[in-house]
A and B are shown apart, each in its own frame.
Chain A
Amino acid sequence: MEPIRTTENAVGPSADEIRRFAMQLRRDVLAMVHFAGDGHIGTSFSIGEVVAALYLKIMRIDPTRPRWEDRDRLVLSKGHSCPMVYAALARRGFFPVSELLRLRKIDSMLQGHPDTVKTPGIDSTAGPLGHGISIGSGMAIAARLTGRDYYVYVITGDGELEEGLIWEGMMTAVKYGLGRLIVYIDNNGLQSGGTIEQVSGLAPIYPKLQAFGWHCQEIDGHDVDAIIQATRYAEAVTNKPSCILMHTVKAGGVPFMAGDNSWHKRVPTRDEFERAVASLDEMDGRLEKLEEHLEGAEAKR
């Protein structure tokens, strides 16, 4: 497959390397949440592959210039999944890896939800669900008005689609024909209170997206090749925004956690943490142990 675009700063763009990167990010997230005593593992894990693909291959970024005007943007609309993005930013060099262990601590650059002022590489403050498509639309309209060619990527949840603002934003993106706006929907089927079906009348999702006039695709959200191919197709559509409905598994990637909604915002015990990282290590023994940075991180306080 040809590269999607010229990603001068991308490293290790093979699918295997992206898969391994996603595993590394999951390992980081486990350590972050374990040591923070708080955070969302389940919803971070379900976007592991797309975050890995975006930061390793898809996005045009420069870790030394987090405010570079021509950079591609990511709006993490499901902001509670930020541990995964923080890990990707650190591993790509936006800030030291040891900072990850400062998640949710006082005086940390890593807030409980994304803060565009405090954290290098975070392109939009986020967290209150439903905002990403509207904000991303503003960024994409601005690209057109300022003659820049950056792409705006947005990651939303599926339960998040219950927020009315999502659909307001979808109408705006269609009205302005925002071909450089690409939205990934993390369809893990679960939200805080249960399954999507139990909690809301949202389903079916895909026909609603189509009815709003977007270019739509449906993929396995843990399949790196599918993510890259779908992104390539989406980028080829220039006259309307694109969405990629990704079927994912909440807390996916660690077998004993996968699909268990109790991991929405559960903190692993020491034993659970060790079992989880052991299962990731088993898949790839080369993962770096974030907790080895703990001493340095604590000393910095």
Chain B
Amino acid sequence: MKAQVGDYASTRVAVTEALLELAAEDERVVLVCADSLGVMKGQPFRERFPERVIDVGIAEQNAVACASGLASAGLIPYVVTYGVFITMRACEQVRSFVGYPGLNVKLVGANGGMAAGEREGVTHQALEDVGITRMVPGMTVVVPADAGQVRQAVAAVAGVPGPSYIRIGSGRDPVVYPDGEPFTLGKVKVMRSSGDDVTIFGNGVVLPRILRAADILEGDGIGARVVEVHTVKPLDVDGVLGAMAGVNGAVTVEDHWINGGLGSAIAECLCEHGGAPMTRLGLKDKFPESGDPDPLLDKYGMSVSDIVNAAKRISAKGATIGRR
């Protein structure tokens, strides 16, 4: 039975399902892991394509450097392990040996964000993965909404030569979209629109919260547009500006530091195109902690009421500062 909106489905299983399909069609596709095949639910891939799993052991720098060598010889390696280790332990390998030579290495980082950190705590929560990868020239950076979108994103980046990073979750990830919802790499998606007071940009695990906030706002007479920005880089500038047309301001919500990720990307875009009142919700210069996903998001500034209040502030502020 297909997972329904509001259920949970594993983004990790989704990666494996997508790779099985890709690998069946394209013999260049290989999976590189760092003793992470089990936790990434990649066993079916190993059963089907045992020769095409390269497991280098607990050695993420080695995994990414090895992937650089594989890609330089024409293969399409997907490096699949924890996002913190890909983007920080192997940061130099990602930047200098994948990004700099522009190699066709596809990075897939699990435990993206605080909520997807499997209660492991700060050391295993990828809180800066989007910011780090976004700074690498030529890197495509994607934060898909849910398992169904991950499946499509994994396939979509295969069609874009060059490096990419896909952030995925814990394996118990909220289903945001009905099964079969299309995914278009590089394009924002307007999920809901109930007026032209404020635009709320978000991605990943926080999207259901933004939708709930938009319902409350509508009840309070404030029209909100909810815009999913799964592709943080390259940013769909026209899509972002289009979603801002006529509104008073913007709110961004992301399970990431407010620096470097989606909030920064939107702020840069808006500042360079005339400016708009905006506020960023996310982690604010304070390390979080272990815990269940929803209470964590509530505690660290991404509750539904946080989003509602921010949207109301921006709506009011926009009215006084001047409309775009």
Contact = CB atoms under 8 A, between A and B. Distances in A.
Contact of A134 (B52, B62, B73, B102): B62
A172 interface: yes
A138 interface: yes
Given A125-B100, A125-B101, A145-B30, A138 B70 contact: yes
Interface string A230-264: 00000000000000000000000000000000000
Contact of A135 (B59, B69, B102): B69
B88 interface: no
Contact of B56 (A116, A124, A172): A172
B68 A138 contact: yes
Given A141-B70, A142-B70, A145-B51, A169 B101 contact: no
Interface in B45-103: 51-52, 54, 56-57, 59, 61-62, 65-75, 77, 92-93, 96-97, 100-102
A52 B235 CA distance: 48
B73 A142 contact: yes
Nearest to A150: B73
Which of B56, B57, B61, B96 has the largest number of chain A CB atoms within 10 A?
Answer: B56
A135 B73 contact: no
Contact of A146 (B73, B77, B96): B73
B97 A137 contact: no
A224 B69 CA distance: 29
Interface residues of A, number: 31
Contacts of A176: 54
A128 B96 contact: yes
A136 B70 CA distance: 9
A69 interface: yes
A135 B92 contact: no
A143 interface: yes
Contacts of B67: 138
A36 interface: no
A197 interface: no
A139 B65 contact: no
A135 B65 contact: yes
Interface residues of B, number: 28
Interface in A162-196: 165, 168-169, 171-172, 175-176
Given A125-B97, A131-B93, A142-B75, A168 B69 contact: no
A146 B66 contact: no
Contacts, number: 101
A134 B61 contact: yes
Given A138-B65, A138-B66, A116 B101 contact: yes
Contacts of B101: 115-117, 124-125
B146 to A, nearest CB: 32
B271 to A, nearest CB: 31
A71 B65 CA distance: 20
B102 A117 contact: yes
A62 interface: no
Interface in A112-132: 115-117, 123-125, 127-128, 131
A169 B65 contact: yes
A147 to B, nearest CB: 10
Nearest to A75: B69
A187 to B, nearest CB: 23
Contacts of A145: 30, 51-52, 75
A226 B72 CA distance: 31
Nearest to B56: A172
A165 B96 contact: no
B74 A138 contact: no
Given A128-B92, A171-B59, A137 B66 contact: yes
A169 B62 contact: yes
9 contacts: A124-B72, A127-B96, A128-B92, A131-B97, A134-B66, A138-B54, A138-B66, A139-B69, A168-B56
Given A138-B65, A138-B68, A146-B74, 18 more contacts: A116-B101, A124-B101, A134-B61, A134-B62, A134-B65, A134-B69, A135-B65, A139-B70, A139-B73, A140-B69, A142-B74, A143-B73, A145-B52, A146-B75, A165-B61, A168-B59, A172-B59, A176-B54
Interface of B: 30, 51-52, 54, 56-57, 59, 61-62, 65-75, 77, 92-93, 96-97, 100-102
Interface of A: 69, 75, 115-117, 123-125, 127-128, 131, 134-143, 145-146, 148, 165, 168-169, 171-172, 175-176
| 4 A-B pairs closest in CB distance | A138-B69, A142-B73, A134-B65, A168-B62
